[in-house]
């Protein structure tokens, strides 16, 4: 047998699968869940039960952040620990206990719409798999979560008809789980996972779909106008990995292939698990392909000890979390990979949040960037195609430097008009997120292209807020066409030669006549400061439409979405005005935290005098890191009912503690801190 694991023979899995075990219905009813998990009851799958299935289950609920400190089969003890369901008194409860899914003998898990939205964490499907779940059924399934399941060898379907077939012990053809899938996905399912498929691919056993632009010898590069996303996919299509042939004249939605990644990054929540997969499959001495195009970040957990309860510390969770840092650092050293770690010789904190640094220093127009975080689209602000992937996908990219994708359709959001001076890109996003096309899940898996005069007027920082929150849209990614603003950013922020910057921008716009699945128009002049009510970023209303005042105890200003230079400008503008006009400061009943995205942003804030201003008005400045956004730093709620207002990107249940989290813009979070209640900045 060959010493190279990739040369070992790999074969397809059996053509059909018969499973022995129970079906778990993730209902929006705590008592129904307990009857299945604790009482051993097998519910009849009636239309009434289907109507009660939980919609919008996020990966934060499948595996809360603290569960992701584990990265091996121990995860099987913990699926659905954060799942919220209605209790007998009408309130929300978390009825799933540790070990209950595994002990229940379940092989299939059933839910409603938008299952697996939110974070790209592969710990979620891996926890389900290790608990015995082999099949995931839902009315609709988010892209990254679904791909993660398939990459791990789990079966996913939106066909509720398989439930009765599983219960009957029927041998179900694997083809039932690949209906409508592209050729690559079909073969990944047949081989039982992405690594196994890639091994077969390297052994010449699989058939890759031929790009339509090259079929029958065609080289017509003018066959169809393309969106910006399609253009970048065309440039990065790996036609022949053996000869390094990359690029085709044109592409269209629905085509599937492997695409060359210019940049691959991961953070400490994911790198250790990917490193274990890498070493288990290839051996400890195996080397990552082109480590110069790989980045690691220690950004999520640098403040964890300030937010973790003593109960969890006593349970060993802080020690488990610290091992993530150790594993990532050791792997980075062995592989020669650049690690943005904790600051040395300074106050605690990270050198940078991954998204902040990728945009500040690395992403360029036309690049294809992959990262193990759902907010990887942040880099789309400069016309890069940046999207999130899971653990298995990133570890496979360390071997091949490419990533599989099915080219998604694009939809366009056109923002016209001139906004009021207190309206920001965040307000645009909260308006977009409540649009029926987005709210009802029609945008799932599509590329959202932001355009129109109001978007063109935005800085790259503000554009990044919109592309970042493509994750909340459920989109494949978000992107803004490169233009003169992009050139200014590359020259002024990066020190790039103007001629090179303009060359990168050239052609990085959608073609006239490009096709969009949907075009949404937003009139910026009619947008007002927005707030997303607790539970989901799509729960947006105008702040001035709130039925009653909402007193707050915490105001958190930061995260990758709102820890950029221009965000610091906004916080400072509101606080300076309050101080200078009426000696205003942070309300005595509010704790206000301001956290930046990188050391570079911190130094900008220092140079502008903002750090002193924040101190004067009673706000606590925090060094770079993810922090409260993932319940891992100052700014988290600590009890149910405690109210927080934040400029971060999402407010799923439990995302930032057990309290109630309202999402607003940077202007509004500062205004709320001063007012002591959810408030917009009144200009």
Domain-by-domain residue ranges, the chain? Answer: 19-170, 408-526, 530-675
Note whether 45 and 129 are within 8 A (CB): no
Question: What angle in degrees, to the nearest 10, is found between the helix axes of 565-582 and 599-607?
Answer: 30
Residue 388, pLDDT score: 93
The answer to whether 256 and 406 have CB atoms below 8 angstroms apart is yes
Predicted confidence (pLDDT) per residue in 151-182, tens digit: 999 999 999 999 999 999 999 999 999 998 98
Alpha-carbon gap, residue 575 to 664, rounded angstroms: 16
CB 58 within 8 A of CB 66: no
User: Per CATH, is 408-526 categorized as 3.40.1060.10?
Assistant: yes
The C-alpha R_g of the chain, in whole angstroms, comes to 24
pLDDT of residue 119 exceeding 80: no
Please tell me the predicted confidence (pLDDT) of residue 347: 59
Q: Is the pLDDT of residue 220 over 60?
A: no
Q: Look at residue 7 in the predicted model and tell me its pLDDT.
A: 66
Distance of CA 664 to the CA centre of its chain: 19
Question: Residue 175 and residue 614: Cα distance in Å, rounded?
Answer: 59
pLDDT of residue 2: 42
Residue 674 has pLDDT above 80, yes or no: yes
Helix 183-191 and helix 143-152, axial crossing angle in degrees, nearest 10: 40
Model-level pTM?
0.86
Four-residue CA torsion sign, 373, 374, 375, 379: positive
What local confidence, expressed as pLDDT, does residue 6 receive? 65
Give the whole-angstrom CA distance, residue 335 versus residue 338. 9
Cα(554)–Cα(531) distance, integer angstroms: 15
- Can you tell me the distance from the alpha carbon of 235 to that of 453, in angstroms, rounded to the nearest whole number? 28
Instruction: Calculate mean pLDDT across residues 300-312.
Output: 82
Calpha distance 435→442 (Å, rounded): 10
**pLDDT at residue 408 above 90?**
yes
DSSP letter at 660 equals E
Identify whether the C-beta of residue 95 lies closer than 8 Å to the C-beta of residue 33.
yes
Cα distance between residue 467 and residue 315, in whole Å = 38
Contact between 623 and 343 (Cβ < 8 Å): yes
Residue 620: count other Cβ atoms within 10 Å of its Cβ: 14
Supply φ then ψ for residue 451, to 5 degrees.
-150, -175
Write out the CATH class of domain 19-170.
alpha beta
Distance CA 358, CA 579 (A): 35
What's the pLDDT score for residue 566? 98
The whole-number average pLDDT for the span 427-437 is 97
Residues in CB range of 374: below 8 A, 6 or more apart: 118, 119, 120, 144, 388, 471
The pLDDT value recorded for residue 318 is: 84
- Read off the pLDDT of residues 522-563 as tens digits, 9 standing for 90 and up: 999 999 999 999 999 999 999 999 999 999 999 999 999 999
- The CA distances from residue 89 to 30, 61, 76, in Å, are 11, 21, 31
The sign of the CA dihedral 396, 402, 408, 413 is positive
Lowest mean pLDDT of 12-21, 112-121, 596-605, 644-653, name the range: 112-121
Mean pLDDT, range 218-225, rounded to an integer: 64
- Using alpha carbons, select from 184, 214, 210 the residue that is nearest to residue 197: 184
- What is the rounded CA–CA span in Å between residue 605 and residue 614? 10
d(CA 519, CA 287): 45
Distance CA 413, CA 433 (A): 11
For residue 168, the model assigns a pLDDT of 94
Confidence class for position 489, pLDDT limits 50, 70, 90: very high
Percent of the residues in the chain that have a pLDDT greater than 90, as a whole number? 78
pLDDT band at 359 (very low <50, low <70, confident <90, very high): very high
Of the candidates 168, 131, 175, 222, which has an alpha carbon nearest to the alpha carbon of residue 13? 175
Model confidence at 311: pLDDT above 80: yes
β 540-542/530-532 pair status? antiparallel
pLDDT digits (tens, 9 = 90+) for 245-283: 999 999 999 999 999 999 999 999 899 989 988 998 889
**E runs forming strands in 112-206:** 135-138, 155-157, 172-173
What's the pLDDT score for residue 51? 96
Average pLDDT, the chain: 93
> What pLDDT was estimated at residue 652?
86
How many helices (DSSP H) and strands (DSSP E) are in the chain? 27, 28
Span 467-482, mean pLDDT? 96
Q: CA of 230: how far to CAs of 180, 224, 468, 556, 568, in Å?
A: 20, 11, 19, 37, 34
Of residues 355, 612, 573, the one with CA closest to residue 461: 355
Contact 538, 532 (CB under 8 A): yes
1-40 tens-digit pLDDT: 345 666 677 889 999 999 999 999 999 999 999 999 999 9
Q: Return the DSSP state at 154.
A: -
Q: What count of Cα atoms within 13 Å lies in the side-chain half-sphere of residue 664?
A: 34
CATH assignment, 530-675? 3.30.499.10
- Rounded to whole angstroms, the Cα distance separating 105 from 310 reads 33
Q: Which residues contact 658 (CB under 8 A, 6 or more apart)?
A: 637, 638, 639, 640, 642
The SS3 of residue 452 is coil
Distance (Å, whole) CA 132 – CA 138: 17
Higher pLDDT, 221 or 360: 360
């Amino acid at each position: 047998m060959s010493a190279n694991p990739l040369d070992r023979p790999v074969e397809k899995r059996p053509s059909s699968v018969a499973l022995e075990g129970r079906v778990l219905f993730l209902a929006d009813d705590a008592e129904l869940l307990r009857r299945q998990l604790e009482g051993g009851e097998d519910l009849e799958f009636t239309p009434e039960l289907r109507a009660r299935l939980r919609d919008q289950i996020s990966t934060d609920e499948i595996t809360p952040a603290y569960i992701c400190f584990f990265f091996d089969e121990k995860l099987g003890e913990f699926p659905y620990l954060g799942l919220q369901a209605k209790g007998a008194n009408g309130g929300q409860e978390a009825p799933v206990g540790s070990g209950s899914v595994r002990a229940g003998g379940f092989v299939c898990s059933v839910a409603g719409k938008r299952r697996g939205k939110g974070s790209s964490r592969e710990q979620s499907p891996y926890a389900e798999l290790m608990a015995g779940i082999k099949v995931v059924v839902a009315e609709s399934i988010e892209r990254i979560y679904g791909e993660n399941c398939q990459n791990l060898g789990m079966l996913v379907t939106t066909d509720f008809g398989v439930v009765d077939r599983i219960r009957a012990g029927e041998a179900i053809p694997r083809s039932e789980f690949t209906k409508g899938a592209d050729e690559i996905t079909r073969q990944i399912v047949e081989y039982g996972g992405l690594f196994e498929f890639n091994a077969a691919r390297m052994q010449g056993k699989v058939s890759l779909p031929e790009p339509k632009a090259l079929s029958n010898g065609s080289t017509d590069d003018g066959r169809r106008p393309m969106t910006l996303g399609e253009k970048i996919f065309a440039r990065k299509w790996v036609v022949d990995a053996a000869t390094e042939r990359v690029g085709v004249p044109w592409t269209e939605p629905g085509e599937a292939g492997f695409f060359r990644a210019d940049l691959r990054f991961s953070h400490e929540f994911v790198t250790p698990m990917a490193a274990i997969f890498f070493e288990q499959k290839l051996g400890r001495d195996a080397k990552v392909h082109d480590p110069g195009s790989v980045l690691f970040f220690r950004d999520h957990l640098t403040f964890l000890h300030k937010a973790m309860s003593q109960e969890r510390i006593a349970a060993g969770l802080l020690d488990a979390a610290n091992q993530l840092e150790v594993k990532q650092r050791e792997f980075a050293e062995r592989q020669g990979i650049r690690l943005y770690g904790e600051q040395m010789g300074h106050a605690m904190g990270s050198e940078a949040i991954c998204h902040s640094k990728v945009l500040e220093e690395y992403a360029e127009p036309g690049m294809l960037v992959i990262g193990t975080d759902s907010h990887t689209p942040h880099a789309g602000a400069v016309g890069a195609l940046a999207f999130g992937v899971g653990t298995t996908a990133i570890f496979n990219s360390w071997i091949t430097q490419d990533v599989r994708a099915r080219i998604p359709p694009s939809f366009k959001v056109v923002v016209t008009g001139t906004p009021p001076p207190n309206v920001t890109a965040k307000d645009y996003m909260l308006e977009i997120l409540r649009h029926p096309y987005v709210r009802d899940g029609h945008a799932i898996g599509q590329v959202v292209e932001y355009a129109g005069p109001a978007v063109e007027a935005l800085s790259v920082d503000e554009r990044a807020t919109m592309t970042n929150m493509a994750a909340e849209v459920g989109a494949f990614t978000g992107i803004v066409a490169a233009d003169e603003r992009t050139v200014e950013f590359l020259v002024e922020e990066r020190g790039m030669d103007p001629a090179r910057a303009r060359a990168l921008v050239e052609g990085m716009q959608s073609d006239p006549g490009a096709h969009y699945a949907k075009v949404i128009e937003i009139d910026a002049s009619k947008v007002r400061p927005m707030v997303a009510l607790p539970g989901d970023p799509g729960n947006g209303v105008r702040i001035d439409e709130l039925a009653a005042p909402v007193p707050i105890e915490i105001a958190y200003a930061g995260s990758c979405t709102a820890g950029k230079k221009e965000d610091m400008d906004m916080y400072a503008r509101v606080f300076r005005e309050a101080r200078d006009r009426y000696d205003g400061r942070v309300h005595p009943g509010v704790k206000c935290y301001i956290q930046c995205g990188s050391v570079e942003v911190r130094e900008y804030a220092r140079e502008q005098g903002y750090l002193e201003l924040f101190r004067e008005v009673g706000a606590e400045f925090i060094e770079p890191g993810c922090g409260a956004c993932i319940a891992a730093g100052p700014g988290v709620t600590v009890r149910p009912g405690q109210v927080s207002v934040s400029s971060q990107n999402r407010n799923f249940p439990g995302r930032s503690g057990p309290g109630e989290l309202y999402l607003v813009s940077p202007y509004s979070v500062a205004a709320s801190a001063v007012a002591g209640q959810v408030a917009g900045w009144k200009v």
